[in-house]
Amino acid sequence: MLDYIVKTPVKEIRAFDLDAFHVHNAFRSPGRLVESELDKSKAEVYADRYDNFRHGLAFQSKMLDSTSGSDFDGVTFAFVCVDKGSARAEIFKTLMEKGIPFIDVGMGPSLSKQGAIKGMLRTTYFPPGKAADVVALGHAETQDAPEDVYRTNIQLVELNALNAAIAVIRFKQLRGFYVDDVQGNNLLFDIRDLKIASDGED
Amino acid 25: pLDDT = 87
The strand pair at 102-107 and 120-126 is best described as antiparallel
Mean pLDDT of 69-77: 96
The Cα 158–Cα 39 span in angstroms is 24
Amino acid 105: pLDDT = 97
Q: What are phi and psi of 105, to 5 degrees?
A: -120, 155
pTM above 0.85, yes or no: yes
β-sheet bridge partners, residue 106: 122
Amino acid 134: pLDDT = 96
Q: What are phi and psi of 102, to 5 degrees?
A: -155, 160
Q: What are phi and psi of 36, to 5 degrees?
A: -70, -15
Per-residue pLDDT tens digits for 56-72: 999 999 999 889 999 99
Mean pLDDT of 101-107: 96
Contact in structure between 185 and 127 (CB atoms under 8 Å): yes
Q: What are phi and psi of 124, to 5 degrees?
A: -125, 130
Q: Is 26 left (phi over 0), alpha (psi -120 to 50) or beta?
A: alpha
